Amino acid sequence: MKSFGFLSFGHYDNGSDLDAGQMLRDAVEISVGADELGVNGAYFRVHHFATQAASPIPLLSTIAAKTRAIEVGTGVIDMRYENPLYLAEEAAALDLLADQRLALGISRGSPEPALRGWETFGYEDPTELKAANMAREKFDRFLRAVRGEELAPADPQQFGPGRRLRVEPNSPGLDRRIWWGAGSAATAESAARTGVNLMSSTLLTEATGAAFGDLQAEQIARYRQAWNEAGHEWMPRVSVSRSIFPITTDLDDLYFGRRGSAQGDQIGIIDDTRSTFGRTYAGEPDRLIEELQADAAIQAADTLMLTIPSQLGVDFNLHILESFAEHVAPALGWVPAGAH
């Protein structure tokens, strides 16, 4: 593990003090504090028709404008809801404004509260109930646009015959900071062939009885093998996410003390598929270091995303990040942002 960031679901409740506006302001404040701590990334989940973080570009733009070194990104954008060329325009503009600090995780997305909500957004896939094919086709078009491919025929009255135009603006190198969120070894191998980074999902659509970290490590190994076989000329990044809470105060113990070693991986059904969910790590720093060093996926990945309880407020979330940065991350190989 070379870098770590936080991953926020951006939960809020319309019936409480933490409404959408306060959630967004808290997210910015947490990100500014994390940047000061040397945390490497601020990443946000994207869910539609839910009291959670949704359209990410305004939030990421605000964070980028108020920070110096921290990477801003998503985990993940559901491509079923997106116009791929408009997203490519927005992403390139933000990346240029942020001095190439944008890292977008994109995928088919997870189950949403709305029934086929992408259809309400104006997108349909008559071939498949879950619209996975549409998501992959949109992602391909998005990636081609980000890579500067000339996709649109130019008006011959303005440019003469045969000219084609690319999406503008274009941010060179952004395509190397795009991640595909993969929930299986097969989708990880597909991401490798496509030439994008791997964001290993918070759940895997496999349940063999093996530990979640071991399943992820196998996924990462197959991704890297497929990457090498594809012959790409650069080294990709691999991220995993975990819920990790160093217990350094009585309040930490009150919130998370009972979630430690007694809790293991969980098996559940998602998208009609038996899946494995990772455990929560909570404990004193020395014990956490031992447990995280034994997690095969964390050892295999270069980026670790800590899922944070954003609804507990700015101060407590920065305390979690500071505790991890001070007491745990250095033993795992962490290099603070800006120290490269």
The CATH number that applies at residue 181 is 3.20.20.30
User: Sorting pLDDT into bands at 50, 70 and 90, what band is 12?
Assistant: very high
In a domain, 122, yes or no: yes
- Please indicate, yes or no, if residue 57 is contained in any of the structural domains: yes
Q: Which domain holds residue 86?
A: 3-332
Dump pLDDT digits (tens) for 24-45: 999 999 999 999 999 999 999 9
Please give the tally of structural domains in the chain.
1
The per-residue pLDDT for 277 is 56
Percent of the chain with pLDDT over 70: 91
Question: Would 339 be classed as within a structural domain?
Answer: no
pLDDT digits 0-9 by tens, 282-308: 999 999 999 999 999 999 999 999 999
Give tens-digit pLDDT for 234-249: 999 999 999 999 999 9
8 A C-beta contact, residue 13 and residue 51:
yes
Tokens of 55: 């359209």
DSSP 8-state class, residue 174: G
Contacts of 332 (CB under 8 A, 6+ apart): 1, 289, 292, 293, 298, 304
Closest to 256 measured CA to CA, from 287, 281, 278, 285: 281
- Helix, strand or coil, per DSSP, at residue 312: helix
Closest C-alpha to 303, from 206, 197, 219: 197
Is 8 part of a structural domain of the chain? yes
**Within a domain: residue 338?**
no
Per-residue model confidence (pLDDT) at position 17: 82
> pTM of the entire structure?
0.93
Predicted confidence at residue 259, as pLDDT, reads 57
Determine the Cα–Cα distance for residues 287 and 32; give it in Å rounded to an integer.
29
Residues 6+ apart with CB under 8 A from 217: 296, 297, 299, 300
Residue 229, in any domain of the structure: yes
Q: How confident is the model at residue 269, as a pLDDT?
A: 40
